[in-house]
Structures are given as structure tokens and as C-alpha cells.
Structure 1
Amino acid sequence: MTKPRALILGTRGSQLALQQSMMVREALLAQHPELEIELRVIKTKGDRLQQLALDASGDKGLFTKELEHALRTGKIDLAVHSLKDLPVVPAEGTCIGAILPRAVTVDSLIGAPSFEALPVGALIGTSSRRRAYQLAVHYPQLRTAAIRGNIDTRLAKLESGQYDAILLAEAGLSRLGLEVARQPIPEELIVPAPGQAAIAVHVRQSDEQLLELLRSIHDTVTAEEVGLERRLLQALGGGCALPLGCVCHITGEEAELRVFFASEDGQQHYSERRVLPRSEAESYVLELAERLRKDFAL
């Protein structure tokens, strides 16, 4: 009898990262119960520099580089990431081996029942300019400020009164089973980040056996949706800090794309919603990227 393959799965140490890694582990074991899968926590630069504003770092691999190194050097066999943290061009010799079915894509408001319920000048904590600039468009009477830390840390900062409300991705809150009062924000108000709510499994390109195993948990529709979103991100030459919102929903042979893009200072912005045949979505994304590059002098 062939000995079961023992896999080492690399993950960040946050509660959410561990939960997402467990989701991948459980999905793989459900399809391949003969596997042995050990979780190994690896600390990233983003974990160490908790006070650094994400948009100010200029580092496209803030939460991934150490995991990439461990993967390329054979210390781990696969790494699990929130796809929106993963650079659009994988490290040399690596690839995305699977993308799980993604959760709800919206952001949620915590600390108030709605933006309208907040007083003029209320301070909202958010980790991205994407959210801050969209809020400035719709609710110029509100203020935003950077917030760092894992979900529990951010909730504690809200509870201590440092912010009047905060914005977090609904997927993370749901995956952790947190019963905190919150209000999901419609995508037409705050367009999600490219790849938001998707979990990616990162592997070595040469590991054909593992790539074959991962096919059983790969969701092709989610992969197509996030592929289009990240294609726009790549065409605009940005990393996860670019003030870009892009979300795609595919239903049958129809694709709905919603986009928000802003200049670095947020003074200029563009938004659009387009429903088109699924077969035309990629050409639309490339044409849109060219228009945005020209209009924003990128």
C-alpha cells in the first residue's frame, strides 16, 4: 500500500488566516481522506509591522513574501492566502493551484446602523483608500482614518472609542462566526477589492501531484470572476494598495462588472457598472484598463 502523502500547509497566524487554512485542509481531506496535512504558522512582514499603514508600505507582498519563500525552498508544500493579498504575478516557480468558492463579497459597517445615522465629522476606521475614497464621494461629511491589526484588534479599537465606526470585509466576519452587530454595504456604494472573499491555494508549479489533488476543490466560476477582477488590477499596474474596486458576478452566460477607480489623492474618480455577455468580459476589462490609464495618466 502506498504511504499517504504528508503535506505541510503554510499559513499566517491570525485567527482568520488559520480559519481559512482549516477550510482548505478540511476541503482537501473531504476529497482525499488518505492525506496527512499539518498546518505551519509563518509570520509575515505585515504581521510584524502592525503600525504601518497598508497603503503607505509600497510593498505588494506585505502578507505573502515569507510564505512564498517557504514554498519555493520546500519548507512548506502549499500556502493559503486571502486572494486579495496575493500579488497578481505569482513568485517565480509558483502558481495558484486552487481557488475555493468565495463568500459574500461586500464590506460591512460596524458601530452604526447606517452611514446616515453617523453624526457630521464621525471618524470611520478603514485599512484601504479604496473604501475611504468611495466614502468621500457618497458621504463627504464623514471622516476616515487608517486602522491596522487583525479583526479582534480592530473591534477592540472601535469599542475603546478610537473610532465611531469601522469597515471590514463581511467574508472575514462570517468565516469567524462573529456575532457582532453590523450592516452589509451594497456594492453600488462601496465596490469590493479585486479578489475579495476568495481563498487561494498557492503551490509550486512543479508539484504536479498536488496540483492534481487540488483540482477537486477548485471552483471554476469563482476563478473566472476573480481572474477578470485581477486582470484589471494587473493592467493598471497596481498591488493591493491601489485605490481600485472591482467585482464580477457571473450568472449563466452573463457577467456583471462593477468598477471604482481613483487617483492617488482621491481627487479624481471613475465608477461604472456593466452587464455583458460572459464571452466579452475580458475584452471589456482590457479596454477599460486602457481608458483608465489614459484618463488618469498612468
Structure 2
Amino acid sequence: MIIGTRGSKLALAQTEEINNSLSKISNEEIKIKIIKTKGDKITNSQLYNMDSKGLFTKELDKVVLEEEVDFAVHSLKDVPTELDEDLEIIAIPSRESPNEVLISQYNWEDLSDGCTLGSSSLRREAFCNHYNKGFKLKPLRGNIETRIQKVLKGEVNATIMAEAGLKRLGLTKYIKKVFPTDYIYPAAGQGAIAIIARKDSDKKEIIQKLNDYISFQQVLSEKTILEEVGVGCQWPLGAIASMKNNELVLNSILLDKKGDTLYKSSVSGSIKDAKEIGVKIGREMIEYI
């Protein structure tokens, strides 16, 4: 069995997580093949200034389709809403934290007008504007460790990252603050790993054993909003699903670049209706774009 992955430390940590889980339920030898993606090669531009569709996944999809690897491991938030017709998300293992975190030597409350925020996320920039932080925004690309070091060296005063990546790399000591998901809404699917294979793969049965139903349904509802709206990095959109009183609750927000709220919604229902809940919000949201 061959797993395809990007070569970053985070991608490899996620792949090793899947490898370890598979090893417990399969006696088959597992190998890892590293694939370089377009997103890995571009380090000097804001993601939302580029055609971001499949930026971190396209090359991996290709090797899955050509059967060079049996399946690929992705950060779900990087996966486009439209997959090749011969591919599918086979499993979403139990989701890690979806929260956003502050990396800084300063408290969030002490960061104000004139401070520099390093970011390549339109959503994160918009939330900073939403809270009237008055930051000077500076592009910040690179792997997690690189971005942390740029903050520690004072190249920027702060950055905002996904908590999940820091947890998976054992770097939580650098977290200054964990933001509640109703303060800074995360990207749809944040914290989740997607395992993508061919629809006709003979490995589907074993891969599906790694699926966590609740995690799968939650991120399905979130990503369905993007599918309905048809946006990637071009709009500041956050979505987060959770379970409350045995129901799935999907919260979503759409901001403009200045941070003003264009649309905000919370819809709940049966977890089996996750996709329909996402469709409802997406169809309402699109009226505000």
C-alpha cells in the first residue's frame, strides 16, 4: 500500500498518523511517497491573489488517478469542493481542534494600530479588521516553523494559525491565545484530514475503517457551503459545525474585506442531514455575494 503526501513536516505528521492507524488494522506493508505541489513552490504571494483551486492537491490527485499511489492524505481545508469524477473522499478520521490561535510575544488585547500581522489568509485579515485591530498586514508564507520564527525574530508582531497543525507538530508552547470558534470562525474543514482515493480502489474497505462519522458529517456540512457559494480564498468565509443536544449545529459567517458582516447564520438539525444543512446556508449566503 502506497500513501501519497506533500513533503512538509505537517503533511508528513498527518500521513504518519494515518500510517499508524492503518498499521493497527492491516498487515499490508505501507510505503509513503512524497509529491511536490504547486502550492509548495510558491512562497512569495498571497494565496487569494492566485488561482487557488487545487493549489496543494492537484499533483497528488494526479498520482492517485494514475495509480502511482493508493490514496492521498490532505488537510481537508486544502481540498477543492469539486473533485475529479473518479476520486472521492473515502474517510475523515476524528477531527483535531478547528480553532484559530495567536502566535505573538504580545497579548491579543495589546496588539493594536500600527502592529504588523503576518498573514496570507483573507479570512484572517478580515476578522482582524472586524475587531478594528488596525494592523499593518504583511504577507507571510512558509511552513509552520518558518512563520513562527518570523514572529519570534520580530519580522511581524503576530500571526494567526490553525491550532491543529501546532498540536500535530508538538509546537503548542508557541500559542499565545486560542480563539473561540465564534470569535474567529475557522475555514471550512479546518483541523480535519481527508483520505482521497479512486472510486474503484480496492483499498476502500480498509480505508473506510478510519472514518469518524461525526467528523465526516460536520465537515461535509461546512464544505457544502463552499460548494453552494462557489468561492475559495476570494471571500472571507468561516464555517464551523459542532454537536449540541444530539443535533448538528452549523454556524457560518461571511465578511467583506473590511471586516463588515454581510451574512451570519446558525442552522441545526439531524446529523444525517449534514449536507442539506450546508445547502440551506450556502443558498442563503450566495444572495449576499
Structure 2: where are the runs of 5+ without partners? none
- How far does the alpha carbon of each residue in 1:205-232 deviate from its partner, in whole angstroms, 9 at most, with x for none? 111x311001211001000000000000
CA distance in 1: counterparts of 2:94 and 2:84, whole angstroms: 23
Q: Quote the residue 2:16 is aligned against.
A: 22
Structure 1: where are the runs of 5+ without partners? 1-6
2:178 counterpart of 1:184? yes
2:204 counterpart of 1:211? yes
Q: Quote the residue 1:80 is aligned against.
A: 73
TM-score (norm 1): 0.90
CA distance in 2: counterparts of 1:71 and 1:283, whole angstroms: 29
Does the 8 Å CA contact 1:231/1:285 hold for their aligned counterparts?
yes
Q: Quote the residue 2:31 is aligned against.
A: 38
CA distance in 2: counterparts of 1:160 and 1:267, whole angstroms: 28
Q: Quote the residue 1:3 is aligned against.
A: none
**Does the C-alpha gap of structure 1 residues 80 and 151 become closer, same or farther in structure 2, counting only changes over 3 Å?**
same
Q: 1:129 corresponds to which letter in structure 2?
A: L
Q: Quote the residue 1:274 is aligned against.
A: 266
Q: Quote the residue 1:55 is aligned against.
A: 48
Q: Quote the residue 2:91 is aligned against.
A: 98
State the shift of 1:240 in Å: 4.6
CA distance in 2: counterparts of 1:242 and 1:141, whole angstroms: 20
**Does the C-alpha gap of structure 1 residues 70 and 294 become closer, same or farther in structure 2, counting only changes over 3 Å?**
same
State the shift of 1:239 in Å: 2.3
**Does the C-alpha gap of structure 1 residues 236 and 70 become closer, same or farther in structure 2, counting only changes over 3 Å?**
same
CA distance in 2: counterparts of 1:278 and 1:266, whole angstroms: 35
Q: Quote the residue 1:153 is aligned against.
A: 146
TM-score (norm 2): 0.93
Classify the secondary structure of the residue corresponding to 1:191: coil
Classify the secondary structure of the residue corresponding to 1:62: coil
State the shift of 1:55 in Å: 0.9
Does the 8 Å CA contact 2:221/2:250 hold for their aligned counterparts?
no
CA distance in 2: counterparts of 1:98 and 1:278, whole angstroms: 20
State the shift of 1:38 in Å: 0.5
Aligned length: 287
Per mean C-alpha deviation after superposition, the further-off stretch among 239-248 and 57-66 is 239-248
2:178 counterpart of 1:195? no
- Identical aligned pairs, as a percentage? 33
2:130 counterpart of 1:137? yes
Q: 1:19 corresponds to which letter in structure 2?
A: A
Per mean C-alpha deviation after superposition, the further-off stretch among 180-189 and 19-28 is 180-189
Does the 8 Å CA contact 1:244/1:262 hold for their aligned counterparts?
yes
State the shift of 1:79 in Å: 0.5
CA distance in 2: counterparts of 1:196 and 1:213, whole angstroms: 24
- How big is the alpha-carbon RMSD for the aligned residues of Structure 1 and Structure 2? 1.8
CA distance in 1: counterparts of 2:213 and 2:64, whole angstroms: 24
Q: Quote the residue 1:286 is aligned against.
A: 279
Q: 1:272 corresponds to which letter in structure 2?
A: K
Q: Quote the residue 2:109 is aligned against.
A: 116
State the shift of 1:91 in Å: 1.7
